[in-house]
Amino acid sequence: MKEYKIAVLEGDGIGPEVIAQGLKSLSAVEKKYNIKFNYKKGLIGGVAIDATGIPLPLATIELAKKSDAVYLGAVGDWKYDTLDPAIRPERALLGIRKELGLFANLRPAKVFEELVSSSPLRAELVDGVDIMIIRELTGGAYFGTPKGIDIKDGVKVGYNNMIYTEDEVRRIAKVAFETAMKRSKKLCSVDKANVLDVSRLWREIILEVAKDYPEVELKHMYVDNAAMQLVVNPKQFDVIVTENLFGDILSDEASVLPGSLGLLPSASLSSEGPGMYEPCHGSAPDFKGQDRLNPIATILSAAMMLKYSFGMEDAAKDIENAVTQVLKEGYRTEDIHKEGNTLVGTSQMGDLIASKIK
C-alpha cells in the first residue's frame, strides 16, 4: 500500500477545527484509493510560542522537511500583538516558507456557480471567473536586505529592499508558464516596470522565458492597473504571475470574487521537497471553538496537496466535486448563507463533503 507522511501544523485560532475537516476528506480518499496517510503533528505560531517561546521551533522545521507534504491551519492571535515582531506568530509563516524553499505560491480564485450571488460584485462580472494567482513567495521586499529602522542624522528611517535575482524570476516564470500551458494558455505578468528597476528585470526575464512557451499568450500589466482590472473585468484573467508583495495584495483582492475568504485554498511549492497547503484565510481567533467558520478553503487545500504533492489528480477532483455537490444541495456555513439554504456548522460541513467521496 502506498503511504505518505503529512506534517500537520494546526496552528492557532480556528486552525485545528478546519484542519480536522480536511482530514475527514483525506480519510475518505484513503479508503477509496487504498492508500495511507501518516500524520505527525507539529507546533507553529502562537501555540508554539506558548510551548517553546518561539513561533517556529526547530522540531517543526525538521518534521516538515522529513514529510511528503505539510498541511497547515493558520497562525496568529490578538494576544501576541504586543510581542516583538521578530517572534510574532506571523514570523513562523515567513520562516517555514524560507526553510522549505517554497518559492511558488498558487492561489486559485474560482467562483462556484452556486455561490455567484455571494460575491460582492455583480453576478455577470464574476460568473465563470477562474483565476490562478502565482505569487513569488521567498523573495522581494519580504526577505530583501538591507532592511530595518535606523536613525540617520537624528531622524528615524525605515527601509526594505525589493530585490530579485534573475534566477529567482526565472524559476517562478517557469512555474507560471507551465501552469498556463495546463490551463487556457493565457498568462498575465504583473509588475511596476514603469517605475521600479526590480520590475524591469522581472519583465526582461519573463520575456526571455516566454520564448520557450510560444503557445502562451503573454500580457504584462502594471500592478495598479491589475488591481483595478481585477474588480472591473476579472474574467479577462486566467493565470497571473507576480512578485511577493504585489501577490500578497492582489491575492487578497481576488479572494473577494468568490464571495468568501473561507473558500480559498493555497499551495506553496518548492523545486524539490515537500509542498505546503493551507487556507488563504487567517486564524480568526474570535471564532475559535464556535463551529461557525467555513472549512472549504482547508478542504480544498487538501485537494491541492493530493494533486501537487502526490500526483493524485483523480482524488483531488473527488474532493472538488464533493464540495460542489454539497453546495448544490444547498448546505452553507454562515459566511455564505442566504435565505433558502441550509445553515450548517464547520464540523457538519466537513462531514457532508467527506461523505460524498466514495
Residues of the shown chain interacting with Mg ion in the complex, contacts defined by CB under 5 A: 248
- What is the side-by-side strand order in the sheet with 186-191? 36-41, 3-11, 69-74, 275-279, 265-269, 104-110, 130-136, 239-242, 186-191, 217-222
**17 vs 278, beta carbon nearer ligand IPM:** 278
Which pairing describes strands 3-11 and 36-41: parallel, antiparallel, or unpaired? Answer: parallel
Q: Give the CB-nearest residue to Mg ion.
A: 248
Q: Give the CB-nearest residue to ligand IPM.
A: 90
The residue among 179, 186, 174, 162 whose CA lies nearest residue 243 is: 162
Set of cell numbers at residue 100:
522549505
**20 vs 245, beta carbon nearer Mg ion:** 245
Interface residue with ligand IPM among 68, 90, 253, 335 (CB under 6 A) is 90
Residue 93 site contact among Mg ion, ligand IPM, none (CB < 5 to 8 Å, cut-off depends on kind) = ligand IPM
Set of cell numbers at residue 312:
493524485
| x-or-dash string of contact with ligand IPM, 42-81, rule CB under 6 A | ----------------------------------------
Report how far residue 303's alpha carbon sits from residue 307's, in angstroms, rounded to the nearest whole number: 6
Residue 216 site contact among ligand IPM, Mg ion, none (CB < 5 to 8 Å, cut-off depends on kind) = none
Residue 90 site contact among ligand IPM, Mg ion, none (CB < 5 to 8 Å, cut-off depends on kind) = ligand IPM
**191 vs 248, beta carbon nearer ligand IPM:** 248
- For the question of residue 351 being annotated catalytic, the response is no
**Least Cβ distance, residue 227 to ligand IPM (angstroms):** 15
**Least Cβ distance, residue 218 to Mg ion (angstroms):** 26
Helix H or strand E segment including 66: helix 58-66
Interface residue with ligand IPM among 23, 28, 48, 93 (CB under 6 A) is 93
Distance linking the first and last C-alpha atoms of the chain: 18
**Least Cβ distance, residue 56 to ligand IPM (angstroms):** 12
**Residue where the block lists cell 500580457:** 219
Q: Give the active site residue among 142, 213, 308, 331.
A: 142
Q: How many CB atoms lie within 10 A of CB 54?
A: 16
- For the question of residue 248 being annotated catalytic, the response is yes
Report how far residue 219's alpha carbon sits from residue 242's, in angstroms, rounded to the nearest whole number: 12
Q: Give the active site residue among 197, 224, 286, 314.
A: 224
**Least Cβ distance, residue 264 to ligand IPM (angstroms):** 11
**61 vs 216, beta carbon nearer ligand IPM:** 61
Q: Which range touches ligand IPM (CB under 6 A), out of 60-68, 86-94, 162-170, 222-230?
A: 86-94
**Least Cβ distance, residue 244 to Mg ion (angstroms):** 10
Set of cell numbers at residue 76:
496568529
269 binds ligand IPM (CB under 6 A): no
The residue among 48, 41, 39 whose CA lies nearest residue 93 is: 48
248 binds ligand IPM (CB under 6 A): yes
Report how far residue 137's alpha carbon sits from residue 353's, in angstroms, rounded to the nearest whole number: 31
Set of cell numbers at residue 128:
465563470
Which amino acid, residue 229?
Answer: Q
Q: Give the active site residue among 164, 192, 213, 277.
A: 192
- For the question of residue 142 being annotated catalytic, the response is yes
Please give the backbone phi and psi of residue 110, each rounded to the nearest 5 degrees, phi first.
Answer: -115, 130
**Least Cβ distance, residue 233 to Mg ion (angstroms):** 23
Quick check: 47 and 253 in contact, CB under 8 A? no
Q: Which range touches ligand IPM (CB under 6 A), out of 36-44, 87-95, 291-299, 319-327?
A: 87-95
Report how far residue 234's alpha carbon sits from residue 236's, in angstroms, rounded to the nearest whole number: 5
96 binds ligand IPM (CB under 6 A): no
Write the DSSP string, 336-355.
G--TTSEE--HHHHHHHHHH
| SS3 label, residue 44 | coil
Residue ranges that bind ligand IPM, judged by CB under 6 A: 90, 93-94, 248
Please list the active-site residues. Answer: 142, 192, 224, 248, 252
